[in-house]
Chains A and B, each alone.
Chain A
Amino acid sequence: MNEQKAINDVAYQSSTASNGLAAIGSKTVQVAVKLLPGIALLIFWQWASGRLIKEIYVSKPTAVIARLYELFASGEIYPHLWVTGQELVLGYVIGVAGGVFAGYALGRSPRLARIFEPYVMAFYGIPKIALAPLFIIWFGIGIGSKVALASIMVFFLVFYNVFAGVRSVDRELVNLTLVMGANQRQLTYHVFLPAAAPFVMLGMRLAIPYSVIGVIVGEFTSSIQGLGLFIHEASSTYDPAGVFAGIVILLGFVTIANLIAGAIERRLLRWRTFSGSGPIDA
């Protein structure tokens, strides 16, 4: 009988074991291939600057690096970094928390969803950037207005993903778990939250660049300090190296945030990596 089971039920073994040297070799190659377009672009930029286009318009990589060094060495950039960093983290966290909470509540309750979904949809359609001047009036010129702008952009993205995720949970799975003896709290913990987790993660990832956009637009509109202000000032004083230096720092922010989100995703969604629908970044 056991033999028959073995024949009929062959497990799909995950092919995690690949031989060491080949794996290392292919990994180096992979990284190199990834870096290649970026390096090519930088070289072209360096070469073209002053030859094809005036340097005053586009600066050049070496000048941007020099400028970055100067900004950090003199400490000039730190107050801007601190302010923008605070705004990003606060805006992101508030937006994600609100989005997860509201998305979950509306996803679980069809009655709430019927009432509120049209409103959320309507507000979703408003270009949030157009709200920036109003937010400055409402929340002041300090970090409040930027946090509000970033969190509202993040909120909608996360909200829709979580809402869709919770609603997509198989009804039969819920019924089965109820028959197994689950109460509402256990149902949330064992079924709805894990089922919604991939959608929450997707929303959180998509929301990272949006929080940056929200904060920078807010700072562009009006602010006392921050990277947006720094970039704005650099561009209005014909300092392209300064503009690019600011942009490089923002790139750094987004990259670090993405790495953190990727690590969380791999940890939380370990089960998905086996079904071939895991995180797409290496």
Chain B
Amino acid sequence: MDDRVLVFDSIGQDFPSPGQRTPVRVLDGISFEVDRGKFIAVIGPSGCGKSTLLHMAAGLLFPTRGSVHHRGHNVTSVNTEVGFVPQQAQLLPWKTLFENVELPLVLRGVSAPERQKRVTDVLRSVGLLGFEQHFPSQLSGGMQKRGSIARTLVYRPDVILMDEPFGALDAQTRMVMQSDLQTLSVEAGATVIFVTHDITEAVLLADNVVVLSQRPSKLLANIAIDLPRPRNMFEPFKNPGFDAAYDAVWTEFRSQIQVGQIH
């Protein structure tokens, strides 16, 4: 059986730029593969088109050149086989937490008793039982984020696309969320593409770190991280082999950071 769930095949993307005749080239010939059950972190400087890759996998945007294949099919329309966790939690403010998490199941025509069971299960696993009837505005940022992740896990998508999901959280909440995400994704055997600009986060969470360059982005390296799991998210440097793995990513990434230059 083919283990490749998602294949990015020499992706190129141009965006029209305001005030200029020639479009801006954002992505330039990016190719990598995502195997089933793997956790892939995509890391690159800001504005390099990391999120664009996720939008392509979700079928919300189509590459100017190259193609994205999901289980052998070219992605040419909205891809409902994937789950998307955005930067902001983006729960619907007019629905309670329960209704928010239930929504994908409602949209997919899952029966009411089944919905009740699955939503309760997933809320338990992200630690939000007891908050079912709260509206998002009554929840803290971290809880909203858990809700957002629960809403994706509940329909068991084939691939979970995460776009800097923890970027807006405070440092402590972030570590807890990283730790929980590791547990959840290992338990669910989920395939994850995780976009971030944080090297530590990428190394701690991922099986593979894909490093992109500055615009127009090329793929600099695809580095396998062979640290044993579960990894300690709270004290990164206590993970045996962390230094070497971090160094491997940093060596590729350092060329993309110009010290003293304003972005």
- Which residues from chain A sit less than 8 Å from chain B, CB to CB? 1-2, 4-5, 8-14, 170, 172-173, 175-183, 186, 190-191, 194-195, 197, 269, 271-272, 274-275
Q: Does B150 interact with chain A (Cβ within 8 Å)?
A: no
Q: A170-B90, A275-B137 are in contact. Are A8 and B173 (CB under 8 A)?
A: yes
Given contacts A8-B142, A179-B80, 16 further A-B contacts (CB under 8 A): A1-B179, A8-B140, A9-B173, A12-B138, A12-B140, A173-B92, A176-B90, A178-B78, A178-B80, A179-B59, A181-B107, A181-B155, A190-B106, A195-B94, A197-B94, A269-B94
10 A-B residue pairs with Cβ-Cβ distance under 8 Å, sorted by A, are A1-B180, A9-B140, A9-B142, A11-B139, A180-B107, A181-B108, A186-B107, A191-B92, A271-B93, A274-B138
Interface size of B in residues (CB-CB distance below 8 Å): 40
Q: A176-B86, A191-B92, A271-B137 are in contact. Are A181 and B80 (CB under 8 A)?
A: yes
Q: Does B79 interact with chain A (Cβ within 8 Å)?
A: yes
- Specify the chain B residue showing the minimal Cβ separation from A12: B138
- Specify the chain B residue showing the minimal Cβ separation from A190: B103
Q: A176-B90, A179-B83, A190-B103 are in contact. Are A5 and B127 (CB under 8 A)?
A: yes
Beta-carbon contact of B134 and A175 below 8 Å: no
Cα–Cα distance between A190 and B107 once the two chains are bound (Å): 9
Q: A9-B143, A181-B104 are in contact. Are A176 and B84 (CB under 8 A)?
A: yes
Residues of B within 8 A of A177 (CB): 103, 107
Residues of B within 8 A of A190 (CB): 92, 95, 103, 106-107
Beta-carbon contact of B138 and A175 below 8 Å: no
Cα–Cα distance between A180 and B104 once the two chains are bound (Å): 5
- Which residues from chain B sit less than 8 Å from chain A, CB to CB? 55, 58-60, 78-80, 82-84, 86, 88, 90, 92-95, 103-104, 106-108, 127, 131, 134-135, 137-140, 142-143, 146, 151, 155, 172-173, 176, 179-180
Residues of A within 8 A of B103 (CB): 177, 180, 190
| B22, chain A: closest CB distance, angstroms | 26
Residues of B within 8 A of A182 (CB): 107
Cα–Cα distance between A106 and B39 once the two chains are bound (Å): 43
- Specify the chain A residue showing the minimal Cβ separation from B163: A172
Residues of A within 8 A of B146 (CB): 9
| A186, chain B: closest CB distance, angstroms | 5
Residues of B within 8 A of A180 (CB): 80, 83, 103-104, 107-108, 151, 155
Most buried by A among B82, B84, B90, B137: B137
